[in-house]
Amino acid sequence: MDKLNPYIGKRTLIIGDVNTGKTGRTLEILQLFLMEGYAKKIAILDMGIEPVQGIGGKMKPPEGEPVLYLTNPITAPRLMGKDENYTLQLAEENARNIEKLFIKFQQEKRKILFVNDATLYLQAGRLERFIEIINTASTQVINAYYGSAFSDSELTRRERRLTKDFMKICDHVITMPCHGPIV
């Protein structure tokens, strides 16, 4: 239980650039909760993408655990968008798909919430709505992109601004170290 003290009843945010281990760190924390028998109280909102050009990844729980795992098809707007308008369209489509996950989560309330890649919602979704949803869980462990791997754009600026605003209301922010240049 001592290992869980930093997380129980708190909002923890794990941030970093691409490929810095945000999802891996989140899975490590999930494993701590599972080892203490909390599986039936846990939900995962997986907003991550299937890997594209070596970037991204889903946060699947271990087989056989009674964790509520919610995900939908999510695209990588900056990697798949042909131009800024199409990139914004993809981000808006992601936000709509993620909203469907929010509804499912609200129907199946869980006290402990893990969120993978929150920034894919923040690119076109509303921070207030995100906070409203996660606040239904007393313990929250969330990861989000916060880095410089992507070029400047309207989407990148919005995502960064909302992530920065979100950091202000977190109990803990864990910054994953960058391991050198991103290829």
Q: Which domains does the chain have, with CATH numbers?
A: 2-175 (3.40.50.300)
Euclidean distance between CA atoms 50 and 125, whole angstroms: 20
Predicted pLDDT at 179: 60
Q: What is the pTM of this model?
A: 0.92
Say if residue 182's pLDDT is above 50.
Answer: no
In DSSP terms, 115 is beta-bridged to 45, 142
How sure is the predictor about 54, in pLDDT bands with cuts at 50, 70 and 90? low
61 or 142, greater pLDDT: 142
Looking at per-residue confidence, does 85 or 128 come out higher? 128
pLDDT at 168 (0 to 100):
97
**Residue 52: pLDDT band with limits 50, 70, 90:** low
Residues in the chain: 183
Can you list the positions of beta strands (E) in 73-145?
Answer: 112-116, 139-145
Q: What is the pLDDT of residues 122-171, one digit of tens each?
A: 999 999 999 999 999 999 999 999 988 888 888 899 999 999 999 999 99
Distance of CA 179 to the CA centre of its chain: 21
Question: What integer pLDDT is reported at residue 170 of this predicted model?
Answer: 98
